[in-house]
Amino acid sequence: MLFNSLEYAILLALVFFGYYALARLKLLRLSLLLVASYVFYSWWSAYYLVLIIGSSTADYLVAKKLFAARTPRARKAWVVVSVTANLTLLGTFKYFNFFVSSLDAGLASLGLGGLGVHLNVVVPVGISFYTFESLSYIIDIYRGKLEPAQSPLEFLVFIAFFPHLVAGPIIRPYDFLPQLRPVPSLSLEAGGRGLFLICVGLVKKAVIADLLAVNLVDRVFELPSRYTSVELLAGVYGYAFQIYCDFSAYSDIAIGSALLLGLRLPVNFEHPYRAASLQDFWRRWHISLSSWLRDYLYISLGGSRGGTLRTYRNLALTMLLGGLWHGASWTFVVWGALHGLGLAAGRALEDLRGASSPRAPRSLALQLLFVLLTFHYVCLGWIFFRAPTFERAWEVIRGIGALSGGAANVSPLLWGVLAAGLATHLLPPALLAALERALTRLPAPAQAAVVLAVVLGIRWAGTSAVVPFIYFQF
């Protein structure tokens, strides 16, 4: 069930009215949320549903045992049980075939026979997201930051809450679980903000991301040899704005949908292509993932403790594993390695300059130069992220390096859509805030009319092709 579908609009409307009708009946209210979430998730396959129910039920029980354990050894044992079970589940469905095929290729290069083992399984949608959330719940209880959920129903809703289930934002249990307990209420302002975010997300997805995907990016990465350097570069820029508009659109719609139910999800994007360094980029891009990697992986590896070299190593390892989290392919590993090395190099430069020493603010020209350098380094990584193979990625890079001119395959419409993608970062925040305030001040019927007008405008301006959200595959 896609966010930009009629089915989702019907589901959200039914949940909205039912949720507030049952507002004072916590058991029924949360049961409605859970049933709706499972309906949403099973839209792809009931097989997925068995998996998420089984894994989340197991973690709920393990968390109770962990909290009740009285010795450090017992507590560590329960954490190991949960981490092992979750990573085994994730590894089996997402990485088993990848590692076996990689091992087979390595053995074949040595003239040895391969294992010949292959699991005929489909990767469950969103498994990486809800696995990370479940792990954060267990680890936070172990660290003493959290007590177990008051009821299994609360925990199951935390894991399966449908707006964020498939592609985030990744939510923290100590932020979300307390929101399920009080009687929900909805102000006109919060409702207007929720509708505004949903409208913004639908425009970014259908009018920018999908048009770029269907008419430029998919074609360029399918047959790079057919395109000039200018067209290939346009395709890479197109993918940079496609993945931003696509993924941030999902987050916008998720956050907006939750707001309509009186629940808050964390901000996931903050104009990432304005970043003047790679570190700044990861403070702005997929914020819920980058903060999760920092708190649960980087710090667990030792963080910045243990000396400079270990800090660089931990940065590189964190991003390397973050790349692998995105997909079972060596191209994702290379993407993660590029970011890990870039972050380590940026930290090294800061250390050489002296992080605590006062420095003069950069001039506007120098700041712009750093933004452009960061953006193009990120785009280099996007080539490996998007390309299905190393050969295709190198073909794109070689094609850009050929410096051939001409852009006959990039229509004026596509240049306009690229400009619209750029505008998502250049528009003054005050303008968006003013538009949001204007919508929130309207009475509810007028807000509904604005949403209908936006939907009709999208149907006219957007592509007719059904393009799944990019992060569904992760």
Name the residues annotated as catalytic: 326
Name the amino acid, one letter, at 70. R
